[in-house]
Amino acid sequence: MSTAVHLSLTSDLCVTPLGLEGDADLQFLLVGGELMKVRSSFWRKNRFYKLQEDCTTMWHESHRTFKSNQTFSIDEIDSVRKGRQSEGLQKHTEAHVEDRCFSIIFKGRRRTLDLVAPSGEEARQWVNGLEKITSNRRKLNRQQTSEHWIFNCMRRADKNKENKMTLKELKHFLRQMNIKVDDTYAEVLFAKCDKSNSGSLEGPEIEHFYNLLIHREEIDVIYRKYASTGGQMSVKDLLNFLLNEQREVATMEDAVGLIERYELDDSAKQKNHMTKDGFLMYLQQEEGSIFNPAHKEVFQDMSQPINHYFISSSHNTYLMEDQLKGPSSTEAYIKALMKSCRCVELDCWDGAQGEPVIYHGHTLTSKVLFKDVIKAIKEYAFKTSEYPVILSLENHCTLEQQKLMAQHMRSILGSALLTSPLEHQMPTAFPSPQELKGRFIIKGKRLNKLDAVFSNISPGVENDSVSEEDEAAEIKDSKTDSSGQKAKPKKSKMKLSKQLSNLVIYCKSVHFSGFDHAKHNQAFYEMSSFKESKAVNLAETAGKSLSSVKAVHLAETAAKAFIHHNMTKLSRIYPAGSRTDSSNYNPVPLWNAGCQTVALNFQTPSKEMDLNQGRFRSNGLSGYVLKPDFQRYAGSEFNPVTLTKGPWIKHKAFHVMVISAQQLPKLNKDKPKSIVDPLVKVEIYGVAADTSSKETHSIENNGFNPMWNETFQFDIQVPELALVRFLVEDYDSTSQNDLIGQYCLPLTSLQNGYRHVPLLTKRGDVIPSAGLFVHLMLLDAK
């Protein structure tokens, strides 16, 4: 058994996080104290908060009926912010209490907890303590997380706090663990562990029960196959496993290093052997993960022009919910930026108090001050990624408030705001993400050509200056042929301030009048926005209302033209206005056509956001992913609609064996006897020829350690554009299956062999103890 957790139900063991023994800030949390909870200028209540002895749960008093004691898990905390950094504290507290304030930001939609401590020193201790313990939780490996989870389930099952486990408590514990067993099996398991025949388990008996519970037969089989040296894996055996099973480029030194890091038995380590416990520990580390650790860092060439990259992009970034009546918030920008979003949208309107505001115009969505949004962007833009952020302005303001917008951006963003071309001469191509590190780029309308910066030409007002979303609404019924040509609609004119216009350098918004027009008339820095339906039409489905032969030809022509357009220009795609619930469209066909800024509603959990998270998981979460060669260089004949021979065809056979899952969460915690019936879907997204899905059978009443051992094969033509998504669902014969967890990554970022797959919630947060165990082989097809 691992030495990471000693299984006893006594309150003084197994609770102090490793490395924080005797820590003063942790002890402060365990004692707790009174804090003022702030919800509005009028609602301010003193409440007692403390960290419970398990060091994973915060307790606080509540004056709600039937809810006098409330808790939340440390794992629910996204971040802790010192000072008046939340919208609530900025609105409802005064500047003189700045040093006493802090906020707890939660994952998902749980409301931010705004708190004021009695003193600045106490606020510092609360923030330091919470940051230490949340950081500690995130650093736990899968085995440690699993042990903590099991241990806490045991503590909850020990209803009378006697530090023992009766048969009744054992049955309750198994239900908490998402396992349904019949009474006979539970009794047999209990009797096997109750060596003292006392009618309850304690001490070593609980440890014996734990070992029976966590035993993984599939690991036994793999270990026995390779442990050929006295029943253990020698360094040579381990190297044999790494080379033949994991298909890694490994050396004897690599194998020795794994033993040194993960072997728990000192006597085995001295002999350069790895025991089964050490082997399991290795498989549950980064080296045993499905995701290639090398891709967790920036590994791609970042010196290409920015239009050569897919760029993580958000639509209606200010919204927390739907676009009809949902709240607008600076918090929405913070969440997107912390997820490495590199292109955010600012929908700007005149504010009643002379200050421009951001909201979804002509709807009931709430408003947030433009300057507050810019402050939040400045603060959080480069915390996750140091690469450039594009501010996409949808400008509906009068000249006076446009001048104020420009003034706010200059004063708040300072030297980080790009206000002239990098080389101080007329550019002929985009700069690279490397050259633009830490910079903000404004996307919007400009009164004149960029070369006017280097001349004394005085700008006039463009006749066709219209907001892109308004323009899209006006032309939604106009017809588009294969080259993108369409009848010119009437354009609503708007006046644009020189101050705002001058901030637009590399991303000047222009009306799209067809690929041929763009090729001969658009400068490289002039970019167009496309509503999703129009973009998909150009990318893959143009002309399908015509005869099938002609339709295919037109689709091929449009798709190829779009790809070549995106080799020299930037394209932005946005969801249709009819998506009032802020739902999302499939971004994959647009990436296939080389579109860079495919904007999605980050606030809406969906399969499409899973794919976006998967696309940008690699390259160090930089928000920039280099497009394949065949989408970047002129002369490429690549067409995602109809594949022809070319360097993009790298025919692969992808073998997937779904072996087992571990500690899947209960979906209905209000029903103690509710147990999941899990199944696994493996989905491939890429060019149409590669898109496919297969699924296992469901397993009844076992979310703790279900085992499938089912094998699938996928035929992949263009692996560089393919994503693989693992989806675990709770099977229901009478209604739609419920999501348990999912994980998506680029096919080119996975590791072969026996791998653990982490599982994420629908909002993209890691489920700490859960995972899949699979065997993967991505091989050249014969």
Active site residues: 315, 360
What's the token pair of residue 446? 């400009």
Q: Is 316 annotated as a binding residue?
A: yes
Q: Which residue, among 658, 664, 672, has the nearest Cα to 741 in the 3D structure?
A: 664
Q: Is 445 annotated as a binding residue?
A: yes
Identity at 691, one-letter amino acid code: T
Cα 402 to chain centroid distance, Å, stands at 34
What's the token pair of residue 227? 């442990």
What is the 3-state composition of the chain as percent helix, strand, coil, each rounded to the nearest 5? 35, 25, 45
**244, HSE (Cβ side, Cα atoms, 13 Å):** 9
For residues 441 and 392, give the distance between their C-alpha atoms in angstroms, rounded to a whole number.
9
Output DSSP code: residue 716: E
For residues 406 and 421, give the distance between their C-alpha atoms in angstroms, rounded to a whole number.
17
Q: Is 730 annotated as a binding residue?
A: yes
Alpha-helical regions (H) of 194-265:
204-214, 217-226, 235-244, 252-262
Q: Is 677 annotated as a binding residue?
A: yes
What's the token pair of residue 667? 């979906």
For residue 201, what are the β-bridge partners?
165
Asked if 77 and 71 count as a contact pair (C-beta separation under 8 A), the reply is: no
Burial grade of 424 (CB within 10 A; 0-12, 13-18, 19 or more): exposed
Output DSSP code: residue 449: -
For residues 492 and 461, give the distance between their C-alpha atoms in angstroms, rounded to a whole number.
13
For residues 420 and 275, give the distance between their C-alpha atoms in angstroms, rounded to a whole number.
61
760 torsion bin: left (phi>0), alpha (psi -120 to 50), beta (else)? beta
Asked if 82 and 97 count as a contact pair (C-beta separation under 8 A), the reply is: no
Q: Is 345 annotated as a binding residue?
A: yes
Identity at 621, one-letter amino acid code: L
For residues 467 and 397, give the distance between their C-alpha atoms in angstroms, rounded to a whole number.
11
Asked if 101 and 86 count as a contact pair (C-beta separation under 8 A), the reply is: no
Q: Is 46 annotated as a binding residue?
A: no
Query: H/E element holding 773?
Result: strand 766-780
For residues 114 and 39, give the distance between their C-alpha atoms in angstroms, rounded to a whole number.
7
* SS3 of residue 682 by DSSP: strand
For residues 769 and 147, give the distance between their C-alpha atoms in angstroms, rounded to a whole number.
9
What's the token pair of residue 166? 């009766």
Q: Is 211 annotated as a binding residue?
A: no
Cα 55 to chain centroid distance, Å, stands at 26
Q: Is the dihedral of CA 584, 588, 591, 595 positive or negative?
A: negative
Q: Is 220 annotated as a binding residue?
A: no
Binding-site entries for Ca(2+): 316, 345, 347, 394, 675, 677, 701, 730-732
Binding-site entries for substrate: 443, 445, 529, 572
Binding-site entries: 316, 345, 347, 394, 443, 445, 529, 572, 675, 677, 701, 730-732
